[in-house]
Amino acid sequence: MDRPAPAAVLELLKPITWFPPMWAFGCGLVSGGLTLPSQLGLMLGGAVLAGPLLCGASQAVNDWFDRHVDAVNEPSRPIPSGRVPGRWGLAVAVVASALALLVAAAFGRWVLVPAALGTALSWAYSAPPLRLKANGWFGNAAVALSYEGLAWLAGADVVAGTAPDRRVLALALLYSLGAHGIMTLNDFKSVEGDRRMGVRSLPVQLGVARAARVACAAMALPQVAVALSLLAWGRPWHAAAIALLTALQLALMPRFLRDPRREAPRYNASGTGLSVLGMMVAAVAVRSLVP
């Protein structure tokens, strides 16, 4: 059997998707009290785990189980194009998942646990019989939890070497809820295709206008909860920064809501960017609170 070229395997792992979990992992490091340069190795090794290994494996899993759909919609993708021939796509997915778990185990059980859960969710998201991606509520939740919450917890845990502080856990869960709305923004571009293929994304289930309102609420409300939490934890200036970033997102939402399908990419770039910035603000805020 022909072997795929390294460039084709790298494309299968989709490096462009690695940033969100790597950023969330970085937020976890900061919130857990990362010290440099003494913990530089932890930071670099964990970034490789969160991005190329865990996220890359999830992308390979998704491409393998979507190969028939991609053959129609994106025939230039590595598997349907034949650049990753035969069952090499499945082999890459299995090996990458196993390697990610081995690396996670080397960091200790408090990193292995979120890594193992994220790996399980990545297979459940794409593979039958669960194939969570067929339903926007479940699929978006799986991706949001893996890319944001579990990556954040792994970052915090790798610094502390123990279970996460309750405030760190709260932030990770809140930003996971917010990421559900971010995931929905990606569904507006493929409403007709999803409807034909039986994929029940939120725009398909709720209609475009209603799904857009749900996405906005899912993004904004957790950030309001983050601001209120920081205020309760004695971090008023950080709370004010989160409130300002959320207010800027709210100001951008009316344009998105007027034409969600056209404006989703623009709002995904601007609104999501503000939310991501707020994640680091929140991480810095709790840094000194963690024992």
- Provide φ and ψ at 224, rounded to 5°: -60, -40
Distance of CA 190 to the CA centre of its chain: 19
Which residues 6+ apart lie within 8 Å of 64 measured at CB? 79, 89, 90, 92, 93, 126
Dig out the tokens for 173 from the structure: 């869960």
pLDDT tens column, 148-202: 999 999 998 887 777 778 999 999 999 999 999 999 999 998 888 788 878 899 9
Q: Which residue, 137, 223, 123, is CA-closest to 184?
A: 137
Neighbours of 250 (CB within 10 A): 15
Q: Which residue, 81, 75, 66, is CA-closest to 194?
A: 66
Dig out the tokens for 202 from the structure: 């939120």
pLDDT tens column, 237-246: 999 999 999 9
The CATH code of domain 1-161 reads: 1.10.357
Identical fold for domains 1-161 and 165-291, yes or no, is: no
Give the 3-state secondary structure of residue 162: coil
Residues in the chain: 291
- For domain 165-291, the question of CATH label 1.20.120 is answered with yes
pLDDT tens column, 67-91: 987 887 788 999 999 999 999 999 9
Dig out the tokens for 250 from the structure: 């709210």
Domain boundaries, the chain: 1-161, 165-291
How does DSSP assign 200-257, residue by residue? B-HHHHH-HHHHHHHHHHHHHHHHHHHHHHHHHTT-HHHHHHHHHHHHHHHHHHHHHH
